[in-house]
Structure 1
């Protein structure tokens, strides 16, 4: 049996890959590529969910059970015994498979996977750290009441994200020749695009599959995140997405609240983040993708306005503009609602 293992990293295209995997389950099966359901069941197994997510939840339960791999071994043994899929390629995509990677729980899970498969290929996507930290803050950090500056400074102290350590750990577990690390840059991706690159590991012609190129896992506008960070108690925890989902339903995903803001990040902050990781990034590039120029992935970007006073004023102006438009949109929505719908229950 062959396994293509996609263990994340979070905020590095995982949602796009997983949605495409689920969307293309039938077409992949026609190519002898099997995508298990959330409980690691296969097509033909009792209770198999053809529309189910990838098995993050299964691995979460294994980890919460102290790394007891009994259930994992049982499922993989049933895969080995299935006459339908003996010559198939299996696909497992789950961001939490980098969790506990340096400890006995994570290592135990991966030792079991290595034991049951004749061939394991690991594909690990990364993104430059300034992009990653901004996206992670928009997903989680602002909900803790942290500004982006505060969040990124804390991340630098913890040397997060740990791409090199993760790549090397997978090399020790599966063999260095079985680990591919790809930065999310067009120069490093087959066809210049994430999904084409990923599915080229599975089928001869990825263009035969169906890809939805719409934005996945929408983030709130970073200027809006800075505003929300000032409201303590607004979120139950960092995974609380109720406000975002309500805004999507109410205003639509095309609203300015979900707009990317190219000029949000201070160029000096971006340089500081990338300089902090430069030595590690050089080792990462040399070990895993030496054919891709270092500067193409990790080099400085075109600087925007660099004067701190001017940038501060521009940021305040943009935040105020956003607030005014959001208030306008919500007032227009309220005016359009019937009187009864506006009254409290």
Structure 2
């Protein structure tokens, strides 16, 4: 049996890959590529969910149960006994498979996976750290009441994200030759694109599959996130997406509240983040993708240099503009609602 393991990293294209895996489950099965359901059941098994998500929840429960892998072993043993999928490639994608990786719980899960497959390929995608930190802050950090500057300084103190350590840990668990690390940079990806790169590990011609390349993990506008950071009480926890979902339903995902803002990050902040990780990135590039020029992945961006005071002024102006637009549209929405709907119960 062969396993293609995609263990995350979060904010590195995982949602796009998982959506495409689920969308193409039947076509992949025709090519003897099996995508198990959330409970690690296979097509043809009783209870198999053909539209089920990837098995993040299955692995989360193992981790919360102290690393008891009994259920995982039972599932993998049933895979080995399956006559239908004996020569198949199995695909497991779950971001939480990098959790506890340096400790006994994570290592125990991966030891079980390694011992049940004849061949394992680990495909691990990363993105430059300034991009990653901005995206992670837009997903989680602002809900803790942290500005982007505060969030990134804390991340630098913790040396987060730990790409090199994760890549090397997988090398120890599955063998260095089994680990592929790909930066989310066109120069490093087959076909210059994430989904083409990923599925080329599974099928000869990825163009035969169906891909939805719309934005898969919508983020709020970073200027709006800065505003919301001052209202920590709005969120139950960092995973609370109710506000984002309501705004998307009400205003539409094309609204400027979901707009990417190229000029949000101060170039000096980006340089500081990348300089902090430079030594690690050099080792990462040399060990895992020496064919890709270092500067193409981790080099300085070409940005228009502005006086720091001018950049602050422009940022405040953009934030104020966004606030005015949002307030106006919400007022217009209230005005358009029926009177009964506007009156408190």
Provide the TM-score with structure 2 as the length reference. Answer: 0.99
Residue 315, structure 1, aligned to residue 315, structure 2: yes
Instruction: Note the alpha carbon deviations across 1:172-213, whole angstroms, 9 max, x for none.
Output: 000000000000000000000000000000000000000001
Q: Which moved more, 1:225-234 or 1:71-80?
A: 225-234
State how 1:72-91 maps to structure 2 within 5 Å.
72-91=72-91
- Who is 2:179 aligned against? 179
Tell me the CA shift for residue 65 of structure 1: 0.4
Equivalent-residue separation in structure 1 for 2:306 and 2:69 (angstroms): 52
Equivalent-residue separation in structure 2 for 1:73 and 1:304 (angstroms): 55
User: For this pair of structures, how many residues does the alignment match?
Assistant: 345
Segments of 4+ in structure 1 off by > 6 A?
none
Query: Match of 2:232, SS?
Result: coil
- Who is 2:7 aligned against? 7
- Who is 1:148 aligned against? 148
Tell me the CA shift for residue 342 of structure 1: 1.8
- Who is 2:16 aligned against? 16
- Who is 2:289 aligned against? 289
Equivalent-residue separation in structure 1 for 2:334 and 2:26 (angstroms): 44
8 A contact 1:268–1:306 mirrored in 2 = no
Tell me the CA shift for residue 305 of structure 1: 3.7
8 A contact 1:263–1:304 mirrored in 2 = no
- Who is 1:237 aligned against? 237
- Who is 2:212 aligned against? 212
Equivalent-residue separation in structure 1 for 2:47 and 2:278 (angstroms): 49
Tell me the CA shift for residue 306 of structure 1: 3.2
Instruction: Note the alpha carbon deviations across 1:97-118, whole angstroms, 9 max, x for none.
Output: 0000000000000000000000
State how 1:34-183 maps to structure 2 within 5 Å.
34-183=34-183
Query: Match of 1:181, SS?
Result: strand
Equivalent-residue separation in structure 2 for 1:16 and 1:234 (angstroms): 28
Equivalent-residue separation in structure 2 for 1:251 and 1:228 (angstroms): 17
Instruction: Note the alpha carbon deviations across 1:47-78, whole angstroms, 9 max, x for none.
Output: 11001000000000000000000000000000
Equivalent-residue separation in structure 2 for 1:232 and 1:197 (angstroms): 39
Query: Match of 1:123, SS?
Result: strand
Residue 339, structure 1, aligned to residue 339, structure 2: yes
Equivalent-residue separation in structure 1 for 2:91 and 2:241 (angstroms): 28
8 A contact 1:267–1:306 mirrored in 2 = no
- Who is 1:276 aligned against? 276
Equivalent-residue separation in structure 1 for 2:335 and 2:233 (angstroms): 29
Tell me the CA shift for residue 303 of structure 1: 2.2
Query: Match of 2:233, SS?
Result: coil
Equivalent-residue separation in structure 1 for 2:230 and 2:53 (angstroms): 34
Provide the TM-score with structure 1 as the length reference. Answer: 0.99
- Who is 1:26 aligned against? 26
Equivalent-residue separation in structure 2 for 1:149 and 1:315 (angstroms): 13
Q: Which moved more, 1:185-194 or 1:306-315?
A: 306-315
Tell me the CA shift for residue 304 of structure 1: 2.8
Equivalent-residue separation in structure 2 for 1:279 and 1:75 (angstroms): 41
CA RMSD of aligned residues (A): 0.7
Residue 267, structure 1, aligned to residue 267, structure 2: yes
Equivalent-residue separation in structure 1 for 2:280 and 2:232 (angstroms): 36
Query: Match of 1:240, SS?
Result: coil
Equivalent-residue separation in structure 1 for 2:58 and 2:306 (angstroms): 47
Query: Structure 1: any 5+ residue segments left out of the alignment?
Result: none
